Amino acid sequence: MRPDILIVGVGLIGGSIGLALKGSSAVNRIAGVDKDQAMLEKALELGAIDHAVTLTAGAENADIIILCTPVNTFPGIIDEIKDILKPGTILTDTASTKKQVMEWFTRLQETIHTIGGHPMAGGEALGVINADKYLFENAVYVLTPSAGTPAEATDKLTDILSILGAKILIMEAGDHDEITAAISHIPHIVASALVDLTQGDSDKLALAAGGFRDTTRIASSDPALWQQILFSNKKPIIDGLNQIIENLVNYRDMLEGDHHEQLYRQLKRAQEIRNQIPHMRKGLLPGFVDVICIVADEPGIIGKLGNILGAKQINIVDLEILHVRDGDGGTIRIGVPSFEKACMAVEALKEYAIKAWVR
Amino acid sequence: MRPDILIVGVGLIGGSIGLALKGSSAVNRIAGVDKDQAMLEKALELGAIDHAVTLTAGAENADIIILCTPVNTFPGIIDEIKDILKPGTILTDTASTKKQVMEWFTRLQETIHTIGGHPMAGGEALGVINADKYLFENAVYVLTPSAGTPAEATDKLTDILSILGAKILIMEAGDHDEITAAISHIPHIVASALVDLTQGDSDKLALAAGGFRDTTRIASSDPALWQQILFSNKKPIIDGLNQIIENLVNYRDMLEGDHHEQLYRQLKRAQEIRNQIPHMRKGLLPGFVDVICIVADEPGIIGKLGNILGAKQINIVDLEILHVRDGDGGTIRIGVPSFEKACMAVEALKEYAIKAWVR
């Protein structure tokens, strides 16, 4: 039987899930609830949901409930619906930390199958108006089932979420939170702390291109959202911050103590680990090989590169402008799906006198 | 009179300067010296220099000497050439820190016009084989003249370096070093420290896409080069590290003490400063306005975007793939030269059913 879905919170995330599930033969009707009436109407208008409901009416009838509201609304929602859910209902969420949510989920009866969820994609622009059925395509989507949740329920949710094009990864909530602290939450705080370092000085900011822009990009995210995220994963973040503070004290001491060799070894180790990132991703996501090319500052060069490779059936899976050059060019890194394609790309670019090599 | 140029060290940086100056009517001959004979021959072959010389023969005859070797070679080079230079010779360098270099320059006679230099561009791949006449195009190129250097000498060097297409910026060596510590050296150490935090754990790295990749990209740079750079700017870096350690301790204390409001204000402040970066750059470099667009995961989409905008004479001056999606698409940020062009771009993209808006 095709499940009825309830999406609680039809903004960017909920709306995008709705748009992606709509039209799939694997789901029945998609209901939506939102405190913001205008958002709810817009979601209906955009076709992200089939019908608008109240929270309790929607929850009573749903087979799968997906919480897409801010994490601090979850306790209230859980309390409101906990006694009216059908046995066997699957309840999942989309918050970016999981252990706290899993604790809240224990308030539900055992007949409810609770599975934490974290789709690791998001948009810069919020609201259903920016919802996008491709938002989760190829994104990692972590699921953290409760201890009592039967494997069939997790399988069922996995099947539904696979419609989004996401790569489902199942792990422990605690592991998820520790990993996201290290690779997302602490980098966020560090980016903010780096920005603080400039104190808004205009000379510093004027020169702050390239590496600094990359390193601090995440500091541009919504502070209200991040304040919530950070407090929802307090313990792993505090542990990680203590660790990185210790790491930085070590770097400082190496400089102060003139330990040249030791600093070299530390930087070398970090480089080696960093270089594993694309490599390690291969198991999880389609891997890619980098082609570096040097192009002149001329209009339309990005389009030209795309055409040259497109003509040879080489798909660009990643693209990054590496240089501190403001023109439409500089040194560009192009990710292509395989080493073979990378070699073909270098050949193709050479025909157009574009210097390129496989990294 | 057109100056004779001597490039000391004809690798990526020296070779790129040579290639850019070659053929300009503003310079006479370009001589090159390199301890690596193969590199020197390759530079000749590629036309980056007109002739290969020894250090002393080249220095005797040069009007402008540009040191492009690693910074730790400078004291030896200075000692070797200091008594044979013609009065009025301009001596400059390309190292990424300036105060130490300016101190070394004081060993030269007062008749030599010393001007520190830092072209703020570089390549991922080293050696003259990767030299590129466009390497410094639109890059910021900082000059730090010695107190005794006449303005005419600085003007002369500025004229020559403008041939590279670089934006020349004159400042105090100490200011330069403090600024580069804040926006380059400390972010580099922090990126390495963040990578250390993963301890190479494969689960963490497997999920480490998007923000983490951006934040730690600079940790992939050559550790030997960076060990040198960091020690050459020790004092400002240690000061900055102490500052950022203090900032991180504050963030930790805010979390530990449940100071929600205070954390929000800190994140908000960092966001505001970070958002000034493109804005502040306008005075210095051609500014741009961002267009965000959402595209499907299909082959050749980058080329398609380039073509759509190219057909309307809209130049792409920056391009960034924002999303953790491995396909050739997701959400893409495109920088275009003006607000007017940005609006045109949105219209043009809409004609192709691509959702886009001006940020």
- N residues, chain A: 359
Please report the pLDDT score of residue B212 as a whole number: 78
Higher pLDDT, A141 or A303: A141
Per-residue confidence band for A123, with pLDDT thresholds at 50, 70 and 90: low
Please report the pLDDT score of residue B231 as a whole number: 92
Tell me the CA end-to-end span of chain B in Å, nearest whole number: 50
A179/B203 touch (CB, cutoff 8 Å), yes or no: yes
B217/A214 touch (CB, cutoff 8 Å), yes or no: yes
């934006």: which residue's tokens? B167
Q: At how many degrees (to 10) do helices B234-256 and A234-256 cross?
A: 160
Per-residue model confidence as pLDDT tens digits over A82-116: 999 999 999 999 998 999 999 999 999 999 999 99
Per-residue confidence band for B327, with pLDDT thresholds at 50, 70 and 90: very low
Minimal Cα distance from A248: which residue of B?
Answer: B193
B319/A302 touch (CB, cutoff 8 Å), yes or no: yes
Give the SS3 label for residue A90: strand
Residue B312 pLDDT > 50: yes
Please report the pLDDT score of residue B328 as a whole number: 37
The whole-chain average pLDDT of chain B stands at: 87
In a domain? residue B122? yes
Return the DSSP state at B327. S
Query: What does the pLDDT average to over B129-149?
Result: 87
Give the SS3 label for residue B190: helix
Query: What does the pLDDT average to over A338-342?
Result: 81
Same domain (yes/no): B137, B120: yes
Residue B280 pLDDT > 50: no
Please report the pLDDT score of residue B248 as a whole number: 96
Per-residue model confidence as pLDDT tens digits over B231-255: 989 999 999 999 999 999 999 999 9
Higher pLDDT, A326 or B10: B10
Give the SS3 label for residue A248: helix
Distance (Å, whole) CA B236 – CA B225 = 18
B217/A211 touch (CB, cutoff 8 Å), yes or no: yes
Sequential DSSP letters for B26-82? T---EEEE-S-HHHHHHHHHHTS-SEE--HHHHHHH-SEEEE-S-GGGHHHHHHHHT
Query: B213 exposed, middle or buried (CB, 10 Å; 0-12, 13-18, 19+)?
Result: buried
A283/B206 touch (CB, cutoff 8 Å), yes or no: yes
Q: Are strands B113-119 and B140-145 parallel, antiparallel or unpaired?
A: antiparallel
Same domain (yes/no): A212, A157: no
Closest CA to B201 of A266, A264, A179: A179
In a domain? residue A190? yes
CATH number of the domain where residue A122 is located:
3.40.50.720
B221/A324 touch (CB, cutoff 8 Å), yes or no: no
Distance of alpha carbon B131 from the chain centroid: 15
Residue B341 · residue B287 · CB < 8 Å: no
In a domain? residue B278? no
**Can you name the residues that pair with A142 across neighbouring β-strands?**
A118, A169
Distance (Å, whole) CA B115 – CA B19 = 22
In a domain? residue B254? no
Please report the pLDDT score of residue B311 as a whole number: 84
Return the DSSP state at B162. H
Provide the sign of the torsion angle of the four alpha carbons A36, A38, A39, A44, taken in this order. Answer: positive
Distance (Å, whole) CA B145 – CA B170 = 8
Same domain (yes/no): B327, B199: no
Same domain (yes/no): A92, A197: no
Please report the pLDDT score of residue B124 as a whole number: 55
Same domain (yes/no): B70, B193: no
Query: What does the pLDDT average to over B108-125?
Result: 86
- In Å, how far are B300, B305, B306, B308 from A307, measured between CA atoms? 7, 10, 9, 12
Distance (Å, whole) CA B73 – CA B104 = 11
Residue A324 pLDDT > 50: no
Among residues 65-84 of chain B, which lie with CB inside 8 Å of chain A?
none
Please report the pLDDT score of residue B144 as a whole number: 97
CA atoms within 13 A on the CB side of A222: 10
Q: How far is A296 from chain B (nearest CA, A)?
A: 6
Q: How far is B184 from chain A (nearest CA, A)?
A: 6
Query: In chain A, what residues touch B212 (CB-CB under 8 Å)?
Result: 183-184, 187, 277
Percent of chain A with pLDDT over 90: 54
Query: What does the pLDDT average to over A113-124?
Result: 84
Q: Are strands A51-52 and A140-145 parallel, antiparallel or unpaired?
A: unpaired
CATH number of the domain where residue B310 is located:
3.30.70.260
**ipTM of predicted complex:** 0.71
B326 and A CB contact within 8 Å: yes
User: At which of A151, A171, A191 does a domain end?
Assistant: A171
Same domain (yes/no): A211, A316: no
Residue A344 · residue A310 · CB < 8 Å: no
Q: Are strands A113-119 and A90-93 parallel, antiparallel or unpaired?
A: parallel
Distance (Å, whole) CA B93 – CA B254 = 45
Q: Which amino acid is at A296?
A: A
Residue A36 pLDDT > 60: yes
B257 and A CB contact within 8 Å: no
Same domain (yes/no): A32, A158: yes
A182 and B CB contact within 8 Å: yes
Q: Which amino acid is at B203?
A: D
Percent of chain A with pLDDT over 70: 90
Minimal Cα distance from A260: which residue of B?
Answer: B227
Max CA distance (Å), chain A: 69
Minimal Cα distance from A294: which residue of B?
Answer: B132
The total number of structural domains in chain A stands at 3
CB atoms within 10 A of CB B175: 15
From the list A139, A251, A302, the residue facing B316 with the nearest CB is A302
Higher pLDDT, A1 or B346: B346
From the list A195, A280, A319, the residue facing B274 with the nearest CB is A195
Substitution target from B144, B178, B248, B319 for chain A, most A beta carbons within 10 A: B248
Closest CA to B286 of B315, B309, B321, B320: B315
Same domain (yes/no): A186, A315: no
- In Å, how far are A134, A137, A196, B28, B74 from B295, measured between CA atoms? 8, 11, 34, 51, 50
B37 and A CB contact within 8 Å: no
Query: What does the pLDDT average to over A210-239?
Result: 85
Among residues 330-359 of chain A, which lie with CB inside 8 Å of chain B?
330-331, 333, 355, 357, 359
Please report the pLDDT score of residue B59 as a whole number: 97
A to B CB pairs, distance under 8 Å: 455
B198 and A CB contact within 8 Å: yes
User: At which of A124, A154, A171 does a domain end?
Assistant: A171
Same domain (yes/no): B221, B311: no
In a domain? residue B75? yes
Distance (Å, whole) CA B162 – CA A38 = 55
Please report the pLDDT score of residue A197 as a whole number: 86
Give the SS3 label for residue B134: coil
B313 and A CB contact within 8 Å: yes
Query: What does the pLDDT average to over A47-74?
Result: 96
Please report the pLDDT score of residue A203 as a whole number: 72
Among residues 206-225 of chain A, which lie with CB inside 8 Å of chain B?
206-224
Q: Which domain holds residue B303?
A: 289-358
From the list A220, A320, A327, the residue facing B317 with the nearest CB is A327
CATH number of the domain where residue B191 is located:
1.10.3660.10
Query: In chain B, what residues touch A322 (CB-CB under 8 Å)?
Result: 124
Query: In chain B, what residues touch A205 (CB-CB under 8 Å)?
Result: 273, 276-277, 280-281
Tokens for B168?
A: 């020349």
Identify the weakest region by mean pLDDT among A175-189, A226-240, B8-22, B335-349: B335-349
Residue A35 · residue A14 · CB < 8 Å: no
Q: How far is B356 from chain A (nearest CA, A)?
A: 10
In a domain? residue B35? yes
Minimal Cα distance from A177: which residue of B?
Answer: B204
B194/A206 touch (CB, cutoff 8 Å), yes or no: no
Q: How far is B15 from chain A (nearest CA, A)?
A: 15
Please report the pLDDT score of residue B123 as a whole number: 58
Please report the pLDDT score of residue A127 as a whole number: 81
Same domain (yes/no): B341, B326: yes
Q: Which amino acid is at A70?
A: P
Distance (Å, whole) CA B30 – CA B50 = 5
- N residues, chain B: 359
Closest CA to A205 of B270, B137, B210: B270
From the list A231, A245, A320, the residue facing B249 with the nearest CB is A245
Residue A39 · residue A127 · CB < 8 Å: yes
Substitution target from B140, B167, B184, B207 for chain A, most A beta carbons within 10 A: B207
From the list B221, B244, B319, the residue facing A319 with the nearest CB is B319
Q: How far is A122 from chain B (nearest CA, A)?
A: 7
Q: How far is B169 from chain A (nearest CA, A)?
A: 10
Q: Which amino acid is at A349?
A: L
Q: What is the enclosing helix (H) or strand (E) of B242?
A: helix B234-256
In a domain? residue B258? no
In a domain? residue A261? no
Residue A355 · residue A346 · CB < 8 Å: no
Residue B91 · residue B118 · CB < 8 Å: no
CA angle B63, B68, B73 (to 5 degrees): 105
Same domain (yes/no): A54, A159: yes
Q: Which amino acid is at A131?
A: A
Query: What does the pLDDT average to over B100-126?
Result: 88
Closest CA to A330 of B325, B121, B248: B121
CB atoms within 10 A of CB B220: 19
Q: How far is A126 from chain B (nearest CA, A)?
A: 12
Q: How far is A353 from chain B (nearest CA, A)?
A: 13
Edge-to-edge strand ranges of the sheet holding B64-67: B51-52, B30-33, B5-8, B64-67, B90-93, B113-119, B140-145, B167-170
User: At which of B171, B199, B222 does a domain end?
Assistant: B171
Distance (Å, whole) CA B33 – CA B67 = 10
Substitution target from B135, B137, B192, B307 for chain A, most A beta carbons within 10 A: B192
The whole-chain average pLDDT of chain A stands at: 87
**Can you name the residues that pair with A357 across neighbouring β-strands?**
A292
Same domain (yes/no): B105, B56: yes
**Which residues have C-beta within 8 Å of that of residue A97, sequence separation ≥ 6?**
A71, A118, A176, A177, A180, A229, A232, A233
A305 and B CB contact within 8 Å: yes
Q: What is the enclosing helix (H) or strand (E) of B254?
A: helix B234-256
B270/A191 touch (CB, cutoff 8 Å), yes or no: yes
Give the SS3 label for residue A117: strand
